């Protein structure tokens, strides 16, 4: 055995990815259904968040969790995998598709459906229903571009990105699935805590992340395309 062989484990010695699973699809359905009753909690929860002061360390943890959902953070995670686990470098394309695909789908929806962000509302004096936070079509489509960012609450792009990435990572490293899910949940909590999104925004986004992640890891769907690409690594 050469030094290179001893330093770099073969692919078959690494933790093997999961086989195709319906779990992401079931999770997407469950999260979408949970979003329905969550609408009733949107205003009270967002109002409560503006009043509560989390302990310093917990608030810091929640705030830094955005890195798992931010484009730059996702990029650094993928670079880390390429550097530290070069045997998995071809899997990075699948992970990128899971994260970016989820985020782009959420971006498409939020640029179509206009909803006020909690931080743009006076929640302490809010008398309208939760449905009043929706304002029809996106200002980009209606030509009212001013303040468009404050009308892009539904759904959360950060949460969709984080959940999509978590599904992809759990597919490659099943033993870490609860860890990755925890990172995604903290990222969603951060979006609520900073007043950027309502609870229902994050649940719908999480459903989108599970859906796209499921498609990218399902060998009966888009996953088979990534399988062919990743399979080349075993022949190189």
**Residue spans per domain, the chain:** 32-229
Q: Convert the pLDDT of each residue in 76-106 to its tens digit.
A: 999 999 999 988 888 999 999 999 999 999 9
What is the pLDDT at residue 17?
Answer: 58
The alpha carbon of 143 is separated from its chain's Cα centroid by a whole number of angstroms, namely: 29
Express as a percent the part of the chain with pLDDT over 70. Answer: 85
The residues of the chain scoring below 50 in pLDDT are: 1-8, 10-12, 146, 234-236
Kindly give the residue spans of alpha helices, DSSP state H, lying in the chain: 3-7, 23-51, 56-64, 71-84, 92-110, 139-142, 157-172, 177-193, 199-217, 223-231
d(CA 233, CA 229): 8
Spatial CA neighbour of 64 closest among 51, 82, 52, 76: 76
pLDDT for res 204: 98
d(CA 42, CA 35): 10
pLDDT score at 223: 81
Query: Furthest-apart CA pair in the chain: how many Å?
Result: 73
Is residue 197 left, alpha or beta, with left meaning phi > 0 and alpha meaning psi from -120 to 50?
beta
Sign, CA dihedral 33-215-107-172, equals positive
Residue with tokens 């989108």: 208
Determine the Cα–Cα distance for residues 59 and 142; give it in Å rounded to an integer.
38
Position 42 scores a pLDDT of 95
CB atoms within 10 A of CB 144: 14
pTM of the model: 0.87
Burial 201-224 (b: 16+ CB within 10 A, else e): bbbbbbbbbbbbbbbbbbeeebbe
Query: What pLDDT is attached to residue 12?
Result: 47
* Rounded-to-integer distance, Cα 171 and Cα 163, Å: 12
For helices 23-51 and 199-217, give the axis angle rounded to 10 degrees.
160
């Amino acid at each position: 055995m050469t030094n290179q062989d001893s330093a770099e484990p073969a692919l078959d010695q690494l933790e093997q990815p999961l086989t195709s699973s319906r779990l992401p699809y079931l999770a997407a359905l469950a999260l979408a259904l949970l979003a329905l009753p969550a609408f009733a909690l949107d205003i009270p929860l967002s109002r409560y968040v503006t009043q509560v002061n989390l302990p310093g360390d917990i608030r810091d943890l929640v705030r830094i969790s955005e890195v798992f959902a931010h484009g730059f953070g996702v990029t650094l995670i993928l670079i880390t995998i390429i550097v530290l686990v070069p045997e998995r470098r071809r899997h990075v394309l699948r992970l990128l598709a899971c994260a970016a695909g989820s985020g782009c789908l959420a971006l498409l929806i939020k640029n179509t459906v206009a909803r006020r962000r909690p931080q743009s509302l006076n929640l302490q004096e809010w008398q309208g229903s939760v449905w009043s936070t929706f304002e029809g079509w996106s200002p980009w489509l209606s030509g009212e571009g001013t303040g468009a960012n404050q009308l892009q609450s539904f759904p959360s792009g950060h949460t969709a990105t984080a959940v999509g990435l978590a599904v992809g990572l759990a597919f490659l490293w099943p033993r870490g699935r609860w860890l990755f899910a925890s990172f995604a949940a903290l990222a969603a909590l951060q979006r609520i805590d900073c007043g950027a999104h309502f609870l229902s925004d994050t649940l719908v986004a999480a459903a989108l992340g599970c859906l796209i992640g499921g498609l990218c890891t399902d060998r009966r769907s888009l996953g088979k395309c990534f399988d062919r690409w990743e399979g080349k690594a075993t022949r190189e």
